[in-house]
Amino acid sequence: MKIKLFKSFAISFATMMLLSGCGGQKSAEKTVESSSTKASTSDVTSGASEQKYTDPKEMKDEYDIIIVGAGGAGMSAALQAKEEGKNPVILEKMPVAGGNTLKASSGMNASETKFQKEAGITDSNDKFYEETLKGGHNTNDKELLRYYVDNSASAIDWLDSMGIKLNNLTITGGMSEKRTHRPEDGSAVGEYLVHGLLNNIHEKEIPIFVNADVTEILEKDSVVDGVKVTVEGKEKEVHGKAVVVTTGGYGANPEMLEKEKPELKGYVTTNQEGSTGDGIRMIEKLGGQTVDMDQIQIHPTVQQDKGILIGEAVRGEGAILVNQDGKRFTNEMGTRDNVSAAITALPDKSAYLIFDAGVKERVKAINFYEKQGFVKSADSIEALAKEIDMDGKTLDTTVQDWNKAVEAKSDTEFSRETGMDNALNKGPYYAIKIAPGIHYTMGGVKINDKTEVLNKDNKPITGLYAAGEVTGGLHGSNRIGGNSVGDIIVFGRQAGEQSAKFVK
């Protein structure tokens, strides 16, 4: 894509994602336009008005470790490699850092954390492992899953040590405990996480280049030793002793999606424009193995006009789903594949999230949905029903029945067991129309628990590492909400550590 298109996209993308930036960088960096939305969570996002990236003229011919992709996994890898005493660089093809991480809403799943203990929540890595395995229909890569759950708590601590505090707990579908960690004020985890990681990238003076499109991974004597990158319209080679690929999935590549699942043609996607599977294709050219490429997750609650995901935390904090008749039709906290199937089976193939002011107070992301014009509101349930062309008495009865179930802690109708801490009884009341959309690609390149990329003989490709949605296997055939953020941090750190050891 041409540089002008990138610059144009930067402004609209950054605004839509509520991207606020970090200041105070050196003169070798240039400004990329963004909005100046502030968050009250902590100093991670406060007082910043513009994001800065390293000037392309400063790009060297060689670094210790080249990281391709500036999402959560890439930035985590860079920070960990820097901690190990190495000199990493981040190359990002889009005009802003963050990737799909910016769009993450609900939180980061982790077990046996200090924040769970502070909240009196008894959890275990084994329970987390078993519930994730069940959610993935027992098809998960068990080696990767074991590493993930056993290192999830330390990842929360690592973020906290850098001023990125995720101490507000909620729950997502398929989980039995509150292990979804959010910013303190309940805001969306993605922008907060990206801002915090970028602050640390800048503080540690790690070069990060945007509009830097990596097109090929280079090898010399069967050892990966660099990349070809196009920047400011010119192609150049950048060499390194190791390469870490964190380019994300292919959820915004219709051709790849339809090749794997023709039935998904025409589905809206929640993915950012850069999620086109570049890393997967480059690694395949090197002989890398892929797994689970036909496993593509449909998220049940997506606003269709703009392809914006309505985070699972809305249901986790008490919202219900109703059909056009104003009746519940499924366990809202079931796994994503089951809830999506239930919505698709409805005559209209769409449904409404119904919630109250209490849910809105606990899930700050709703403020963003409201600004986008997705949210209908009214002072009473019957008035809300009129706003969405629904029978008022039926919807009111549905909400009253739900409130009784919450009080009794027993949902006899659909056996929902979580997200039942609060009744829907605090006006105003709200509704968002949703339907399923393409959300996440579980498939990708095959790695081991050291994040080494494996070839078709299951042997590591020397000097090549990968982390995040570009990889496959961890989530099996269905990803649990909140596990992707855990994935990028846990395995991003591992990629940084292991690539640094290889360089040594």
Question: What is the DSSP code (8-state) at residue 269?
Answer: B
The answer to whether the beta carbons of residues 480 and 131 sit under 8 Å apart is: yes
DSSP code at position 307: T
**Considering only CA atoms, which of 319, 330, 331 is closest in space to residue 363?**
319
Angle at 462 between CA 458 and CA 463, to 5 degrees: 130
Nearest to 418 by CA among 178, 93, 241, 74: 178
Options 179, 182, 328, 336, the catalytic residue: 336
Cα(470)–Cα(109) distance, rounded to whole angstroms? 19
From 474, 467, 465, 469, select the one nearest 491 (Cα to Cα): 467
The whole-angstrom separation of Cα 474 and Cα 447 is 10
3-state secondary structure of 288: strand
> Token pair of 394, please?
């039926």
Helix (H, G, I), strand (E, B) or coil at 448: coil
- Pairing type for strands 460-466 and 234-245 reads parallel
DSSP state of 263: G
Evaluate whether 10 touches 96 at the Cβ level (below 8 Å): yes
- Give the C-alpha distances (Å, rounded to integers) separating 15 from 9, 168, 274, 500: 10, 26, 16, 35
d(CA 2, CA 243): 25
The one-character DSSP state at 447 is B
The verdict on whether 336 is a catalytic residue reads: yes
Per-residue tokens: 185: 């004020």
Report strand pairing: 180-182 vs 108-109.
antiparallel
| Contact indicator for 444, 249 with CB cutoff of 8 Å | yes
Longest CA–CA span in the chain (Å) reads: 73
For helices 189-203 and 483-503, the axis angle rounded to 10 degrees is 20
Q: Which amino acids are annotated catalytic?
A: 336
